[in-house]
Every structure is written in structure tokens, then in C-alpha cells.
Chain A
Amino acid sequence: MRILIVEDDSRLLTQLDVLMRKHGYSVDLADDGKKALYLLNEYPYDIAIIDIGLPIIDGIDVIKTIRQEKINCPVLILTARDRWQDKVEGLEAGADDFLTKPFHMEELLARTKALIRRASGQASPKLEQGSIQLDTLTEEVTVNGRAVDLTAYEYKVLEYLLMNQQKIISKTELTEHIYDQDFDLDSNVIEVFVGRLRKKLDPTGELKPIETVRGRGYRMNRNL
């Protein structure tokens, strides 16, 4: 999952960056509203965590602008302004949830996961397709109840595919959602990840959990 964090306090920004990376997110950072707008226009984020009090362009204005531009990624507001009026205005501007500073990192993680899940239409924190289960809270993957050990990138690929079971995911889309902007994009790497993932999920080759739709991308096998 690719995430944008916008926060003007560098210490908090670094802390959030470390935290989110640790939990398997590809993270892009911005420390003012202008940069945030640029990045949101440029990349398809799965969620944006935006502080309201930002230099250059205020957080609320960033949200209003992206909503006008039909950028629909979920937005979680971080705010030190704990007045309900600010929260109400933020939600009215197009944010999906808010968290008041100071906050517990666990709560931020939980809200982030919930928002991503909600945006993809998943009600439960457990993503399932046949015998494959992925728990977004514990970040564990099982096949037929057997735990599967995945690398961070393999996990990201599987999570994204499971979140979007109904559609075909192109390599570009997959790349954009699992890497952050600093990563040198190479679609062959995706093929390698998918190959490894197939082997780990289906060592015997009976399930065929990930289909390749020729020329278009990948899709979870709906007949599992």
C-alpha cells in the first residue's frame, strides 16, 4: 500500500515515516501543502495522512483541491486543533477521518488500515480469497490455516491484489502502489515478486491463486 504523509514538524514526520515503513507501507513524505498537492496529483496513493496546520497551503485547502480534482484516495487528518469545528470542517472538505494530536501510533495504524479497507470496499480487517487469508492487523498470511512467510514486498503485492479482487491490476498500477517515489521503477521486479508469491502460496501448483491476464496484468483467481 502506498501512503503519503504530510506533516510540517520534521521530527513527527520522520517518526511516522519509520513507523509506516516498519508496517509494510511504501511511504512518500511532504512537509508543506504545495508539495503534498504535487505528489497527490502525480501518484495514486492508497491513503494520505495530512496535518491541517501546514505551511504554504493549509491542509484543509489541500483536501478541498484534491477533491475538486476528483482524487478520491482516503484522507486521514492529523490535527492539533481539537475543536470540533475544525474536525467538522475538515470532514466537510473531503477528509474521511481525523486523529487529534498527540495520538498513539497504534491508533494511527488502526485508523489507516481501516480507511484503506473501507476505500476498497472490504468490511473486515481479514482479506480472504478461497483458502488464502491475509490479516491486515497482524499482517499474517495463511493458506488453509498454514502460515506463509512473505517478504515485505511480497506481502504488499498480495495485500493489494486481495484488496482489489474484482479488478485486473496492471504491472504499472502494482508498481505504483507498492513502491514509493524514490524507488527505481522496473516492471520485471514485479514479475519476480509475483512468481515468488505464487510459489509460496501454492507450492504444489494446484491452486493457481494469481492469474495472468495477457497484456493487461494480474488478478486473484476467483475460483479458489
Chain B
Amino acid sequence: MIPLSLKLRVFLATFTALVIFVPLTALALEKAFISSLTQSLYEQLRTHSVTLITEFEFNNGQPVMPLSLRNKKLNIPGSELYALVKVNGKLTWLSESSLAENVLPLPKEPQIGNELLETISYNNIIFYSYGYTAEFENDGVFTPVTFFLVQTSSGFDREVAQFRATLWYWLGIISVILVLILLFSMYAALRPLDKLIEQIKQVEQGKIQKINKTYPPELERLKSNINHLIEAEQTQRQRYKNSLSDLAHSIKTPLAVLLGQSALQEEARAPLMQIKQIVERQLKRASTTAKGLWLQPEPLRPLIEQIFQAMSKIHQQKELELTLQCHPSYYIRIDKTDAIELLANLIDNACKAAHHVVRVSVDQQAKKLTIKIEDDGSGIPEEQRETIINRGARLDSYTQGQGIGLALVSDLLSAYAGHLQVATSELGGASFIITFNYSTDKTPSTKSSV
């Protein structure tokens, strides 16, 4: 299952909430509105019935209603408000308004002194009815008279429909506003996360040393943890290198003492030198950082200039001309110690071989870094080039006096996935070309060419 992104999760959660919340709100509001509307309708009907009761009387034992009632609606046919009067359970009077209607429902009579509210469905029409039974004295006899006020639902439905329209209109507006607010708050909540991810990427690319922007408290903890991790990794790497260096120191000083013994036999000298070389190479191999996170891109120009300065001291007597062609923006993504080891070994070899000139030229394309180290010495015969490149292939393949410089170069290149090529230089001597291909371009954007 593909894990959902945080943005999608938050969006889905809020969207679901909105889809459930808005119709439920509408339903609740409509229910409340209908209930209050019904209540007010019955109130109106009760008021009408009170008026109607005051207009009723017995005259000579007969129930009498005025021709024109005070409530005008009851006088107008088709007004949708009707009145009925039952005396002793018999329908004795119908209001003028009922004239246009063919059939009307006959609601149930309530007990004397009671009222009865009813919703009646009759011929597919909904009627709201209010009934009240009162006792009237008729020739010394108390006679029950029931007054009904009946109203069709059409007016009621109209009001409900209008309410519903208004409700949905405003709920629509509110929903849109809510979605906008949610989107904004989602953006505001996730922005620090985006910022953090961007900074982690920058650390990875070596553009910054650690995460330094200010974050909300929830992320501050994460930030300090990541920073701690980066620092620990760097310290660990340094400590590891230092302890290897100390180990080298503690092995090599006694070796120096041993080699310095005047009584040392010549046969013992060779194995001692071999021990020296093995210690040297294995410890260097072990301390090679290799590819990994948090590697700073090292600007190449100052690095090579620094090496040149050292070389001009070491090879002072040769009075070499050291030239460098390297744009200031070029960099190498290798641990600095390893970068110096790699380049200084090759440049030192070139200085040893050169008669007058050593030239280092660097070219950096989008995904490729090429460093060429040339000299004007006697060069390397073609048949020996393969051997030189493969010198690092086996750990025990070097022989006495051969030096381990190129073997180390091979080790470093294989650790950093670099490539070494030996050719003939225009200067007349050897040309060592090292290339690095960056498969994924995580490099800084400064890619100018000279």
C-alpha cells in the first residue's frame, strides 16, 4: 500500500468532515424550523378557534353562526383555512371558505374541555387541524359543541421550501469559506514541515552545516535531534579517523626505531618495510569515508592550490612550473582528507616525473567531473598503463620499493566510484585523468565552464 502524503491525509480528513457536517447541519436546522413552524401554526389555529367560539350561540335550541365571520379568511372560498362546527357529534356548520372544496377531512372530536391537534393526510393533501370541545347551555341542557379549524399544508410547505432555499444558499457560502480556511490552515500547518524538508535536503547537499531556521515547538525537537545526529556523525567520522591515525602513530614509531638499529640485518629490512606499507595502506583504506550523506562539496581550486604550495616546497630543487586550470566554482564531493590524499598522490607523482612543468586542469559538466594531471616527464609506456591502473586491485600486489601512492589512489577511486585513465599528455609526459559521474544530480547549481 502506498502511504498517503500528509497533505492528502489532512485534506481527506477535512473533506470528509465537511461532507458529513454540512448536510447534518441542514437537517437539524430544517427539523427545528419545521417544528417551530408547526407550533406557531397551531397557535394561530387556536386563536382563530377562540374567535369562532365567541361567534357561536344557541338560538331557540338551534346553533347559530353569523353569516359573515370576523376572521375574513373563513369567509373567502379557497382561502385554505376552514372552520367546522359539530354539535353533539353532528356536523352542523361549515365556513364559507370550504365552499370551493369538494371534500374535507373530518377530524376526531376531543373530550369536553380538551383540544386536539392533528395532522391529517387526506386525498394526498396534508391538513393541519385544531379541535376544541366546549359545553354550551341549550334550554337548560349542556350540549357539547366542537369547533374545528383546518388549514391545508400549501402555505406551510411554501415557507419550508423558502427556508430550505435560504438555508442551502447560506450553507453553501459557509462551506466554501470553511474549505478556504481549511486549505489555508493546512498550508500554514504544513509549511514549516516543507521548510524543514528543504533544509534537510540542503544539509544533504552540503549547502548548510546544520538545520538553523526556527520551527514550531513540535518540530524544534525533531530539528535538534537531526542536528545532533549530523554532529554525531561528523564527530564519529573524525574520531574514527583520529584513532586510526593514532594507531598508525603507535605502530610506526617503534618501526622507525627498529629500522634505525645499526645492527639490523639487511634481510630484516625488507619485511619491515612491507609491514610499514601494509599498515599505511590498510589504515588509509579503513579511514576512507566513501560515499555517504552529509558530505560537503569541497571547492577544488583552493584545495589544489594548497597542494601546489606543498609540492613547491617538497620539489623545490626541481624549480617546477605548476599550472592550474580550474574555475573557482568547481567542487568535488569527497571528504576533504580523501580529496587531498587522492590529488596530492597524483600531483606528487607528476612532480617526481616532470622535468619542468606539471599541469592540473579541471572540467565540470552537469554530471561529470574530470581532473587531468599532466607532466612533461618521460611518460608511461602503453603496456604498463594497465598494470598501473590495476595496482590497487589486490591488497598484497605491491612489491618492495614500488610505493603505495597509486594503490591508494585506486582504493579511493573505487570507494567513491571514480575512474582513472592513463594517457599521453600534450606536454610529452604522462596524463592521469580521473573522472566522477554523478548519477543523481544533487550538486549545487554553479556549473559554469571555463
Does the CB pair B252–A84 fall under 8 Å? Answer: no
Q: Chain A interface (Cβ within 8 Å of chain B)?
A: 9, 11-12, 15-16, 19, 53, 78, 80-88, 91-92, 95-98, 100-105, 114, 118, 123
Smallest CB separation, A193 vs chain B (Å):
29
Among B252, B306, B313, which residue has its beta carbon within 8 angstroms of that of A101? Answer: B252
Contact with A along B270-310 (1 / 0, CB 8 A): 00110010001000100100000000000000000011011
Which applies to chain B's interface (DSSP): helix, strand, loop or mixed? helix
Does the CB pair A91–B345 fall under 8 Å? Answer: no
Smallest CB separation, A2 vs chain B (Å):
21
Among B250, B256, B337, which residue has its beta carbon within 8 angstroms of that of A102? Answer: B256
State in angstroms the CA–CA spacing of A12 and B340 once bound together. 29
Contact of A91 with B253 at beta-carbon distance under 8 Å, contacts A12-B260, A103-B259 already known: no
Does the CB pair B313–A80 fall under 8 Å? Answer: no
- Size category of the binding interface on chain B: 35 or more
Is B221 in the interface zone, CB < 8 Å from A? no
Contact of A103 with B256 at beta-carbon distance under 8 Å, contacts A84-B341, A92-B306, A118-B316 already known: yes
Does the CB pair A84–B260 fall under 8 Å? Answer: no
Contact of A102 with B252 at beta-carbon distance under 8 Å, contacts A12-B257, A83-B284, A84-B345 already known: yes
Closest 10 CB pairs of A and B: A84-B344, A102-B256, A80-B249, A102-B255, A80-B252, A91-B310, A101-B252, A101-B256, A15-B260, A88-B310
Does the CB pair A102–B309 fall under 8 Å? Answer: no
Does the CB pair B310–A80 fall under 8 Å? Answer: no
Inter-chain contacts of A88 with B (CB < 8 A): 306-307, 309-310, 340, 344
Smallest CB separation, B133 vs chain A (Å):
112
Contact of A80 with B253 at beta-carbon distance under 8 Å, contacts A102-B258, A102-B259 already known: yes
Does the CB pair A87–B310 fall under 8 Å? Answer: yes
Is B186 in the interface zone, CB < 8 Å from A? no
Inter-chain contacts of B306 with A (CB < 8 A): 88, 92
Among B249, B251, B260, B314, which residue has its beta carbon within 8 angstroms of that of A19? Answer: B260
State in angstroms the CA–CA spacing of A12 and B252 once bound together. 11
Is B248 in the interface zone, CB < 8 Å from A? yes
Smallest CB separation, A65 vs chain B (Å):
19
Question: From B276, which residue of chain A is reached at the shortest CB distance?
Answer: A102
Does the CB pair A84–B255 fall under 8 Å? Answer: no
Does the CB pair B336–A101 fall under 8 Å? Answer: no
Inter-chain contacts of A104 with B (CB < 8 A): 259
State in angstroms the CA–CA spacing of A78 and B344 once bound together. 18
Is B397 in the interface zone, CB < 8 Å from A? no
Inter-chain contacts of B257 with A (CB < 8 A): 9, 11-12, 15, 102
Inter-chain contacts of B344 with A (CB < 8 A): 84, 87-88
Is B265 in the interface zone, CB < 8 Å from A? no
